Amino acid sequence: MFWSYFFLILSGVISLLGIIYILQTLWRTLLKKEAPYIPSPLDTAQQLAQHIIIPAKGVVYDLGCGDGRLLRALYNTFPHATYRGIEHELAPYVLFRWHNRNIPKEYLSIKREDFFKTNISSATHVLTYLFPHIMDKLLSKFEKELKPGTLVISVDFAFSKKQPKEIINLETHTTRGKRLYVYEF
């Protein structure tokens, strides 16, 4: 009897948390115009590591990194670089920590903060999978903070006021994650 009530209460709490997460996502996406957590396809993550070379002294930031699959794919191919995820939302942050728990933090880590407030001046590469209006907001930050030669790789979304150095078309099985826009700052 006790366990029946326990599991009933537990399922209610989990359902309530799910509803709160959905409402919070709708609030941030529709009203605040923030990007929701939508993981990049696994095909995209694997192909990213085939097209982008990260040197041993490279420092890669992923702004809005979600569960960290882009960084993890690069780490698996180029393990001697440094990878830093920046994620504001709690659920993807927890997923990142769980999926990457066996990778040393000096190589792959995450901060839970607003990437607009994060200093990324040490980056050699920056990854994004963000809506176009957010990309355009980031342009001035990149122009101020990034060293000459830093590459910004955007999955699917381009800047409206900057031409890419290269556009890489990927062979994916989904409607998302089909194109990488590579910019040099």
Backbone angles phi, psi at 118, to 5 degrees: -85, 130
| Cβ neighbours, 10 Å, residue 71 | 28
Q: State the pLDDT at residue 40.
A: 87
Q: State the pLDDT at residue 14.
A: 65
Q: State the pLDDT at residue 73.
A: 96
CA-based nearest residue to 155, from 179, 123, 119: 179
Tell me what the mean pLDDT of segment 57-77 comes to: 96
The amino acid at residue 78 is F
At 23 the three-state DSSP class reads helix
Place of tokens 């407030």: 117
Question: Burial letters for 122-137: b for 16+ Cβ neighbours within 10 Å, e otherwise?
Answer: ebbbbbbbbbeebbbe
Q: Which two tokens stand for residue 182?
A: 């590579």
C-alpha 145/C-alpha 147 separation (Å) is: 7
Tell me what the mean pLDDT of segment 110-128 comes to: 97
Give per-residue pLDDT as tens, 129-184.
Answer: 999 999 999 999 999 999 999 999 999 999 999 999 999 999 888 888 999 999 99
The mean pLDDT value of the chain amounts to: 88
Query: What is the DSSP code string of 40-72?
Result: PPHHHHHHHHHH----TT-EEEEET-TT-HHHH
Q: Which two tokens stand for residue 104?
A: 């040393």
Tell me what the mean pLDDT of segment 27-56 comes to: 79
CA angle 158, 86, 168 (to 5 degrees): 30
Beta bridge partners of 61: 84, 126
C-alpha 35/C-alpha 17 separation (Å) is: 20
Calculate what percentage of the chain has a pLDDT beyond 90.
Answer: 71
Q: State the pLDDT at residue 47.
A: 93
Are the C-beta atoms of 175 and 153 separated by less than 8 Å?
no
Tell me what the mean pLDDT of segment 116-121 comes to: 97
CA angle 138, 158, 28 (to 5 degrees): 55
